[in-house]
Structure 1
Amino acid sequence: MLDGLHDIDWASMEHAYGSAEEVPALLWALRSPEADERRKALDRFYSAVHHQGSVYPPTAASLPFLFELAVDGATPDRAAVVALLVSIGQESLDRDFEEDGTETEYYPPTGCAQAVAFLRERGAQFAELARDPDPDVRLAAIGGLGLFLDDADRAAEVLRARLAAERGIAARLRIVEAAATLALRLPAASHQVTEWLAGLAAGGGER
């Protein structure tokens, strides 16, 4: 678990409050059996490493380890870790690209481009997380389908299947939102998703 974590020179990177040398301890704490320790680590990660949505180099460097925690069934509070992954990806997309689709240039550089690349390489795994037995994990992962899965047909298929299977209003609303995100992001998905959503709006049920 978390192989290679201590091979990274975290102290050479900075988050919102200075040196990122605390990041390994925060990641290990997210796997702690103590709920209070996990909560404090997650709060600190959001406040320092993902401060107000910012994506720093150590934020991006944390992603492989966060993903390892997210897909490990032995990790407590997996849904919170998945939600953190999706938040980092969403903020990276929002901050890293201009409205015309060109990449934003920052100095000093951020970790946005690295974060987006990493998460899109693992887009298919968000499809698996969206079918997880834990409903909270499914709810957290659904947004990742619209943001990171580049296989338009598979993303649309999984979203349609999830809408047919889910009964909770929060999950169903998030599925529709993810479908709209997918249609806007991938032209290949636009037509089928638009037809599907139009059918739902017209009372076409869950198909």
Structure 2
Amino acid sequence: MRDEDTPSSSLEPPDPNRVLTRTNWAALRHAYGPATDAPEMLGALLNADQSVRTRALDNVHGILHHQNTIYEATVPAARYVAAVLSDPRTLLPVDKARGSFPGCMRAELLTWIASVADGVRDAIAFDDYPPAVAMRGMRPLLFSAASTYVDDIDRHVSEAALAACIPLLDDARLVHHRAALVPSVREVLGTSELWQHRERAIDALDDWGEDSSGLEGQRNPFLFCDTDLSPDDFSWHPGSREGQHEEPPF
């Protein structure tokens, strides 16, 4: 599930081209069968054509991480995404459908990492499901990649990075980073225009034993009291473009 040279727990991002070319994709599966098409999907995230980039992003969500499920192919896909976050081409825009979160491709990829990280939180039992175990082992790499952008000048990127870091900090190897992120979680994520981000900030601070007073979340999102999104626009959390879960294949 990884290229042959780099351990999954390494903090150094792998060479993205090696991930594409040295992963045995045919031996891995995604939502619709063997992941032989994964290299094309992932490579297209950096395509010069905005419509191609957008379609690739939809495929990365809808095929490699369909309805937030961790598949075998999700693991090397996450390594690739972590590796390309610093590529200047991730600053390019993507098409936005109604209900999409704002931001460039970098923000979108960080949101995807948030969804993957949510899927392997410590509270979820996997019974040794190998892709989930492998993804948990990779959390230090994903945190190293995402945390680079928590102070980004682009507010959308910064918020997406913080949203990605929070579930990764379940990891015992990373929990010591929580204290340093608390101010940004409060001051950036907690004041987001998106209620999903504000809610994530409140939940994180409460879980970490920190003060969340003064932050305005939306405890019942189905009331749609906020004006951020209409019911038609609803997406359940910032790691989901599809707005729903399916039962994982384990």
Question: Which of the five TM-score ranges fits, normalised by the shorter chain?
Answer: 0.7 to 0.9
Equivalent residue number for residue 36 of structure 2: 21
Q: Which moved more, 1:112-121 or 1:172-181?
A: 172-181
* Residue 2 in structure 1 maps to residue 22 in structure 2: no
How much has 1:179 moved relative to structure 2?
A: 5.3
Tell me how far apart the structure 1 counterparts of residues 51 and 39 of structure 2 sit (CA, whole Å). Answer: 18
Q: Which moved more, 1:167-176 or 1:60-69?
A: 167-176
Note if contact 1:143-1:175 (Cα within 8 Å) is conserved in structure 2. Answer: no
Equivalent residue number for residue 180 of structure 2: 157
Q: Which moved more, 1:29-38 or 1:146-155?
A: 146-155
How much has 1:162 moved relative to structure 2?
A: 5.3
Higher relative contact order (CA 8 A, sep 6+): 2
Equivalent residue number for residue 204 of structure 1: none
Note if contact 2:85-2:145 (Cα within 8 Å) is conserved in structure 1. Answer: no
Equivalent residue number for residue 115 of structure 2: 87
Note if contact 2:114-2:163 (Cα within 8 Å) is conserved in structure 1. Answer: yes
Letter in 2 for 1:3: N
How much has 1:6 moved relative to structure 2?
A: 0.7
Rate the CA distance shift 1:66–1:80 in 2: closer, same or farther, 3 A: same
Equivalent residue number for residue 118 of structure 1: 138
CA RMSD of aligned residues (A): 2.8
Note if contact 2:182-2:205 (Cα within 8 Å) is conserved in structure 1. Answer: no
Query: 1:79-127 deviations in whole A, cap 9, x for unaligned?
Result: 1111111111112328x823xxxxx226xx4511211221234424433
Kindly, what percent of the aligned residue pairs are identical?
Answer: 20
Residue from 143, 151, 174 that aligns with 2:197: 174
Tell me how far apart the structure 1 counterparts of residues 36 and 137 of structure 2 sit (CA, whole Å). Answer: 24
Tell me how far apart the structure 2 counterparts of residues 172 and 86 of structure 1 sit (CA, whole Å). Answer: 16
Rate the CA distance shift 1:129–1:31 in 2: closer, same or farther, 3 A: same
1:170 partner SS: coil
Tell me how far apart the structure 1 counterparts of residues 174 and 75 of structure 2 sit (CA, whole Å). Answer: 23
Query: 1:141-191 deviations in whole A, cap 9, x for unaligned?
Result: 11223211355564333331454367953368625623533653xxxx42x
Tell me how far apart the structure 1 counterparts of residues 131 and 115 of structure 2 sit (CA, whole Å). Answer: 14
**What is the TM-score with the length of structure 1 in the denominator?**
0.75
How many residues in Structure 1 have an aligned counterpart in Structure 2? 184
**What is the TM-score with the length of structure 2 in the denominator?**
0.63
Note if contact 2:190-2:201 (Cα within 8 Å) is conserved in structure 1. Answer: no
Tell me which stretches of 4 or more aligned residues in structure 1 moved more than 4 Å. 150-153, 165-168
Note if contact 1:146-1:179 (Cα within 8 Å) is conserved in structure 2. Answer: no
Unaligned runs of 5+ in 1: 99-103, 202-207
Equivalent residue number for residue 34 of structure 1: 49
Query: 1:42-81 deviations in whole A, cap 9, x for unaligned?
Result: 1122221111111111101211110112233332311111
Residue from 88, 91, 114 that aligns with 1:73: 88
Tell me how far apart the structure 2 counterparts of residues 54 and 147 of structure 1 sit (CA, whole Å). Answer: 16
Residue from 74, 77, 92 that aligns with 1:62: 77
Rate the CA distance shift 1:155–1:170 in 2: closer, same or farther, 3 A: farther
Tell me how far apart the structure 2 counterparts of residues 59 and 16 of structure 1 sit (CA, whole Å). Answer: 10
Unaligned runs of 5+ in 2: 1-14, 93-104, 216-250
